[in-house]
Structures are given as C-alpha cells and as structure tokens.
Structure 1
Amino acid sequence: MGIADRLFGSARDRFGKEVAARVRAVDAVARADYDPVEFQVVVQGARGGEPSIINLETVFRETQGAPAGVRRAAIGRLVDIAALPPTPDHWDDVRATLRPVLRPIPADPKFDLVSRPAGPYLSEMLVLDTPSAMRYAARTDLKRWEVSAEEAFATAHRNMARTVTTSLDEARRREGSAEPIRLTDNGDAYLTSLPLVQGWLATMHRLAGARPLAFPISNNTLLLAYETDDAAALAKAFEVAEREWRESARPISPAPLTVDDEGAVVLYQPAHDHPAHAAVKHAQILLAMDAYGPQTEYLRAIAGPGDPFPAALKGFRSPEGAEVTAASWADDETSLLPAADVVAFPKHNEKMLLIPWTVVAEEARLTPAEGYHPARYRVGEWPDADVMERMRKLAAEAAEAARGQG
C-alpha cells in the first residue's frame, strides 16, 4: 500500500467517496452513502421511496489512468443519474418508454435489474427511455407497477419494433456483401437491441438474400455483415468486430447473432468446412470466457465451506491452430462445471484424460444446475469405471474421425 492509500484510502475508496460527495450536493437527494463492500453509492431521494443504487465498478475501471478531466466528466454522468426524477409509480406512465437492451451477463445472480437470458452468453435487460437519460428497470419497479417481467419485455419489444425502418433500408443496399457496415447509436435509437426484435434478422435475411451477421460490439455500435463464401471479406468482418469489441469501454459481443431456418435468433454457427468456421469459433470462445470469467470470480468470492467449487473455463490453442475451451472435473470434490468443448479429468501421476463435452454430457447425464447463467453443471465424484472406459473409447473414436476429416 502506498502513502496515498494509507492517508486517503485506496483509489477505489477515493473514487466512491468522491461520487457520494457530489451526489449529496444534488437538490433531489436527501442522502447518499458510499458502500465500499459492494462498491456502490446508495441514494435516498428527497421524496422518499425505495433508495436507488449507483454501481461504480464499470465507470471506475473505464477511468483508471485517465486524465482528471475525463474522470470528473464520468463522475458527472453518475451524478446526473441521481438527479433524475423518480421512476413513475404507475404502469401507464412508463409502458411507452420501455426498451429492451442487449448486455453482458451480470455476474451476481442477485443483481436487482430486470434481466433474462439472451442466448448462452448474453442477457436482455429493460430500460426506460426518458428525455434526459436511459434508466434500467429493477425488479422492485415491476412489483410497484404490478406487471410481470414477461409483460414488461413484450411491451418493450413492441415499442422497439416501431424503430427498425432505417436499418431495413440499410439491408436493401447491401446485396449480400460481407463488408461490415457500422450502425452507430445517437443515444436513443437502441441499435444494438435490433437483433432482439422479433422478425428483424429474418427480414434482413429475406431482403439481402443472405444470412445476416449482426455483431453487437458495444452499447452504441452494431456491425452488420452477411454470410458469404468470400473468406477474405469474412475475415475482415471478424477482425473489425474483435478489434472494436476489445477497444470498447462497454463491450457486448465479438461474436455475431443471426437467424436460423426456423426464424429463431441464435449465435452464428457455420458448417465445419465453411471459411468462417475458425473465426466464429475464436469469437465465441472470447464471448464465453468473457461471460464465465466474472461469474467464476463472483462464485468463488461468495463460496463458503461445503459449497461446490466453481471450475474455470479455459481456452487453448493446438499446435495446428485449432481453438477449444476446457473445464476440469476433479474426482475429490463437488464442482460446478462451465459448459466447454472438452472436459479434463486430471489424475495424479497419470496423463490427463480429455473427453469431448458432448460425450461427457451424454454418458454422465449432465444437466444444468438451477440459477446459473451462463450454465453450470453440478458434478461430484467421477462416473463409475465402466462409464469412464466407455467415454475414453468414444473420445478416441472422435479424435480418429477428426484426424480423418483433416
């Protein structure tokens, strides 16, 4: 710990206290308390009612090492949240303002904001689109409005569906090119929410004559490309998406969403021999690790004696360049496995056994544990010896078949 930390507290605490002090100066605020454990500011409005929460982690990380002016401006935006008028108490006053937004999965399942899975590695949340700012809807809001999450999401989708005309005009001009175009949000268009709108991707498919690839890079940028056999064009689309995702202050996904033959929105998954297969695999591994990483950290932080051990998802690249994810199943403890390409069975003084996830899931009858997104699977001791031997043989057969295809 440096001298500044000893005298004034850690950088995190200094940041939190500065936010709390500036929030207290807002006329609409009766009280603002910094909570160093949760790293948030709890705000009580002058009109009473439920306190609101300002989470500090994202903005703190974004402004670490930034000039003082950038940090002050970021804190100013947090203070603006506290100055917003209270969320209306009645459903009729908010229903027209609801919008769906695509976001990374909150690591903490007790996160109060209204959230539901949007595929394996993303979440869909609800916001109120007010003239002055965007505000996330909380579960306490739904109780006050006396509506279910399903009804609120359906309403938000209907509101969002009225805003898609411009993006459809873009599709008509693309004519199946994989050259990515950038749709940048001006603050109220919610462009990265477009893939959530029922029928939007399917309409893009029909208009462009090619399967759309929608990259929700960040909260304000959507890259749009189309499936093609042009390997160079596809490589460029994925390179641009990954670079901008890595550079974004509020990243969402480097992997594209598309629509399947039944019209459902899914992560793009081409055939193994498609020129985009390796790029898609790489992007999905980045997305999976970005979702599982914070979840693993959170679960390990709250785990108590006797709780199952949250196994980590790890990425590997073979000498030939193939990428896979793996999770370890220990024989001497109860674990929560993340979904991976390969399950590792480590044994002391023996070569580690690696078995494809599909084989393990079938033979060991894995089922998702309740309450985890992304999914986790509770496992204990290894399966019986006959099951292990059968999995070993199936893994060997799969490896031989893969070599034959190569």
Structure 2
Amino acid sequence: MGIAERLFGSARDRFGKEVAARVRAVDSVARADYDPETFQVVYQGAQGAEPAVINLETVFRETRGASSAARKTAIGRLADIAALPPTPEQWDDVRAALRPVLRPIPADPQFEIVSRPAARYLSEMLVIDTPSAMRYAADSDLRRWGVSRDEAFATAHRNMARTVTASLDEARRRTGSTQPARHTDNGDAYLTSLPLVDGWLATIGRITGARPLAFSVSNSTLLLAYETPDTGAVTEAFAIAEREWRQAARPISPAPITVDDDGNVVLYTVPEDHPAHAAVKHAQILLAMDAYGPQTEHLRGIAGPGDPFPAALKGFRSPEGAEVTAASWADEETSLLPDADLVLFPKKDGDLLMVPWAAVADEVGLTPAEGYHPARYRVGSWPDPDVMERLAKLAAEA
C-alpha cells in the first residue's frame, strides 16, 4: 500500500467519497453516504422519499486514468442523477417513458437494475427516459408498479416505434455504398437499442435484400453494415467498429447483432471456411473477454471458503494468426468454467491437455449453472481415466 492510499484511502474509496460529497450538495438531497462494500452512494431526498442508490463501478472504470477535468465531469453526471425527480409511483405515469437499452453484462449476477440477456454476451436493460437524463429501472420499481419484467420490456419496445420508423426510411434510401451507415444518437432516440426491437433487423433485411450487421459500438453510435460477397468490405466494417468501440467512453460491443433465418436476434457468426471468419471471430473474442473479465473479478471477490473457483477466460493467438479462447479445468476442486473454444487440463507433471469444448461437453455433459450470464459451467474433479483417455484421443485428432 502506497503513502497516498494509507493517507487518503484507495482510488475506489476516494472516488466514492467524492461522488457522495457532490450528491450532498444537490438541493433536493437530505443525506448521501458512500458504501464501500457495495461501491454505491446511497442518498435520500429532502422530502423523506425512499433511499436511492448510485452505482459507481461503470463510471469509475471509465474514468480510471482519465484527466482530472474528465473525471470531474463524469462525477457531475452521477450527481445529476440525484437531482432527477422521483421515480413515478404509478404504472400509468411511467409506461410512456420506458425505453430498452443494450448494454454490457453487469458483473454482479444479483445486480438490482432490471436486466435480461440480449444475445450471448450482452444485456438488455430498462430505463426511464426524462427530458434531462435517463434513469435505470430497478426490480423494486416493477414491484411497486405491479407489472412483470416481460410486460415492462414489451412496453419499452412499443415506445420505440417512432425511432424504428425513421430508421426504416433511412434503410430504404440505402445506396450501393459498402461503408457502414453511421447513426449517432443525441441521447433521445435510443438508436443503439434498435437491434433489440422485435422485427427491426428482419425488416431491414427485407428492405435491403441483405442480412444486416448492427454494431452498437457505444451508447451513442450504431453502425449498420450488410452481409456482402465483398469480403474486404465486411472485414473493413469490423475494423471500423473495433476502432470506435475501443475509443468509446461507454463501449458496448465490437461484434454485430443480426437476425438468423428463423427471425431470432443473434450475434453474427460465419463458418470457419468463410473468408471473413478471422475478423468475425476476433470481434466475438473481444466481446467475450469484455463480458467474462469483470464477471470473473467480481465472483472471485465475493467467493468464500468452499465456493467454486471462477475460472478465467483466456485468449490465445497461434503463430498463423488464428484466435481461440480457453478455460482451465483444475483437478480435485470445484470450478465455474466460462464458455470457451478449448478446455485446458493442466497435469501435475507440467503437461497440458487441450480439448475442444464440444468434445468435452459431449463426453461429460456440460450444462450451464443457474444464475450466470454469460454462462458458467460447474465442474468438479476430472472425469474417470477412461473418459480422459478418450478426450486425449479427441484432442490429438482435432
């Protein structure tokens, strides 16, 4: 521990205390306290309203290493949350203000914000749109309104109708350009949420005659490209999306969402022999690592004696440039494996058995553990020797 940390606390605590101080300065706030265990600021309005919370993790991560001015601006935006009017008590007073938003997966599976899986490594959340800002809806809000999660999300999707119409008109004006069309949100249109809306991607595909690739690279930018025989154009679209995702203050995904032949909204994939496979695989690995990394850190932080060990997702690149992900299955302990391309079995003699995930799943029947998104698979000691022998043969044949 450095001198600054001993004197003033950790960077997380200093950030939390600064946010709490800014929230206390809001006229409508009677009290605000920093809770280091949950990394939240808990505040209460002057009129005796129910306590509310401001989650700090996302903004803390975004501003780590940023300039002092950028950090103060971000803290000011957090403090502005406390100045918003109270969440409406009645469903009829709030239903028209609900919107869906596409976001990275919360690291904490018990996260109180209303959230559900949206594609493999992303989440859909529910927000209340106001003239000055948006506020995430909590599970306690749904209970107070007396509505189910499905009903609330369906209402939010219907509220996107105006934005959907405008985007379809734009698709009809599509030219032969191979460059992704850029849709920039000023904070009111929720353009990056369009891939979530039932039928939007399928309709875009019918209008244009090509499978759409919707890159929600950040909370303010949607890049819309299309599947094409021009592999160079597809690869370039992925490169543009990754560059913007890396530079975004609030990144969402470098990998595009599309619609399959059955009309389901899914992450875009191509066969291994597809010319653009390397670019597509690279984007999905970036997204997977971005989802599993915070989840692993969180689960390890809360794990107690006897809890399963949360294994990390690791990325590897071969000398030829091929990229894969892997997870280690340690013998004689219970682990939570992330979904990966390979399962690594580290032996006591230092040797390492690498087996394709599909082969392991077929042999031992891997099934997702409940309560984890992205998925985790609970495993114990290694399979019996005869199964390990078959896995070794499958690894040699792969």
* Paired residue secondary structure (2:392): helix
Distance of aligned partners of 1:6 and 1:303 in 2 relative to their CA distance in 1, 3 Å threshold: closer
Query: Residues 254 and 283 of structure 2 are in contact (CA less than 8 Å); yes or no, is this contact kept in structure 1?
Result: yes
* Paired residue secondary structure (2:333): coil
Structure 1: distance between partners of 2:62 and 2:356: 38
Structure 2: distance between partners of 1:10 and 1:350: 38
The equivalent of 1:368 in structure 2 is 368
* Paired residue secondary structure (1:101): strand
Distance of aligned partners of 1:10 and 1:272 in 2 relative to their CA distance in 1, 3 Å threshold: closer
Deviation of the 1:11 alpha carbon = 3.5
More moved, 150-159 vs 226-235:
226-235
Structure 2: distance between partners of 1:374 and 1:176: 37
Deviation of the 1:177 alpha carbon = 4.6
Query: Residues 214 and 224 of structure 1 are in contact (CA less than 8 Å); yes or no, is this contact kept in structure 2?
Result: yes
The equivalent of 2:174 in structure 1 is 174
Distance of aligned partners of 1:138 and 1:308 in 2 relative to their CA distance in 1, 3 Å threshold: same
Query: Residues 12 and 60 of structure 1 are in contact (CA less than 8 Å); yes or no, is this contact kept in structure 2?
Result: yes
The equivalent of 1:270 in structure 2 is 270
More moved, 9-18 vs 378-387:
9-18
The equivalent of 1:236 in structure 2 is 236
Structure 2: distance between partners of 1:254 and 1:208: 23
More moved, 363-372 vs 43-52:
43-52
The equivalent of 1:402 in structure 2 is none
Q: Deviations over 1:177-222 (max 9, x none)?
A: 5411211101110011000000100011111111100001011111
Matched, 1:220 2:220: yes
* Paired residue secondary structure (1:162): helix
Matched letter for residue 266 of structure 1: V
Deviation of the 1:350 alpha carbon = 5.3
Deviation of the 1:230 alpha carbon = 1.2
The equivalent of 1:95 in structure 2 is 95
* Paired residue secondary structure (1:94): helix
1:265-304 maps to which residues of 2 (within 5 A)?
265-304=265-304
Structure 2: distance between partners of 1:141 and 1:132: 20
Structure 2: distance between partners of 1:323 and 1:316: 6
Distance of aligned partners of 1:232 and 1:96 in 2 relative to their CA distance in 1, 3 Å threshold: same
1:142-161 maps to which residues of 2 (within 5 A)?
142-161=142-161
1:255-404 maps to which residues of 2 (within 5 A)?
255-349=255-349, 351-397=351-397, 399=398
* Paired residue secondary structure (1:189): coil
Structure 2: distance between partners of 1:79 and 1:236: 40
Query: Residues 176 and 208 of structure 1 are in contact (CA less than 8 Å); yes or no, is this contact kept in structure 2?
Result: no
Deviation of the 1:176 alpha carbon = 6.1
Q: How many pairs does the alignment contain?
A: 398
Distance of aligned partners of 1:351 and 1:148 in 2 relative to their CA distance in 1, 3 Å threshold: same
Query: Residues 175 and 209 of structure 1 are in contact (CA less than 8 Å); yes or no, is this contact kept in structure 2?
Result: no
The equivalent of 2:162 in structure 1 is 162
Deviation of the 1:124 alpha carbon = 0.4
Distance of aligned partners of 1:344 and 1:3 in 2 relative to their CA distance in 1, 3 Å threshold: closer
The equivalent of 2:189 in structure 1 is 189
Q: Deviations over 1:301-352 (max 9, x none)?
A: 1111111111111000111111100001111111111110011111122531
Structure 1: distance between partners of 2:260 and 2:191: 21
1:117-156 maps to which residues of 2 (within 5 A)?
117-156=117-156
Deviation of the 1:75 alpha carbon = 1.9
Q: Deviations over 1:350-379 (max 9, x none)?
A: 531111111111110111111111001110
The equivalent of 2:59 in structure 1 is 59
Deviation of the 1:396 alpha carbon = 2.9
More moved, 6-15 vs 244-253:
6-15
Matched letter for residue 242 of structure 2: E
Query: Residues 336 and 376 of structure 2 are in contact (CA less than 8 Å); yes or no, is this contact kept in structure 1?
Result: yes
Structure 1: distance between partners of 2:264 and 2:176: 20
Structure 1: distance between partners of 2:102 and 2:258: 14
Query: Residues 176 and 210 of structure 1 are in contact (CA less than 8 Å); yes or no, is this contact kept in structure 2?
Result: no
Structure 1: distance between partners of 2:77 and 2:224: 30
Distance of aligned partners of 1:104 and 1:161 in 2 relative to their CA distance in 1, 3 Å threshold: same
Structure 2 stretches of 5 or more lacking a match? Answer: none
Structure 1: distance between partners of 2:226 and 2:385: 48
Deviation of the 1:275 alpha carbon = 1.9
Query: Residues 213 and 256 of structure 1 are in contact (CA less than 8 Å); yes or no, is this contact kept in structure 2?
Result: yes
TM-score by length of 2: 0.96
The equivalent of 1:403 in structure 2 is none
Query: Residues 217 and 241 of structure 1 are in contact (CA less than 8 Å); yes or no, is this contact kept in structure 2?
Result: yes
* Paired residue secondary structure (2:238): helix
Query: Residues 215 and 253 of structure 1 are in contact (CA less than 8 Å); yes or no, is this contact kept in structure 2?
Result: yes
Query: Residues 229 and 275 of structure 1 are in contact (CA less than 8 Å); yes or no, is this contact kept in structure 2?
Result: no
Query: Residues 229 and 274 of structure 1 are in contact (CA less than 8 Å); yes or no, is this contact kept in structure 2?
Result: no
Matched letter for residue 337 of structure 2: L
Matched letter for residue 227 of structure 1: E
Structure 2: distance between partners of 1:345 and 1:110: 31
Structure 2: distance between partners of 1:13 and 1:308: 28
More moved, 321-330 vs 226-235:
226-235
Deviation of the 1:170 alpha carbon = 2.4
More moved, 383-392 vs 290-299:
383-392
Structure 1: distance between partners of 2:13 and 2:367: 42
Deviation of the 1:58 alpha carbon = 2.4
CA RMSD of aligned residues (A): 1.5
Structure 1 stretches of 5 or more lacking a match? Answer: 400-406
* Paired residue secondary structure (1:123): strand
Query: Residues 100 and 157 of structure 2 are in contact (CA less than 8 Å); yes or no, is this contact kept in structure 1?
Result: yes
The equivalent of 1:17 in structure 2 is 17
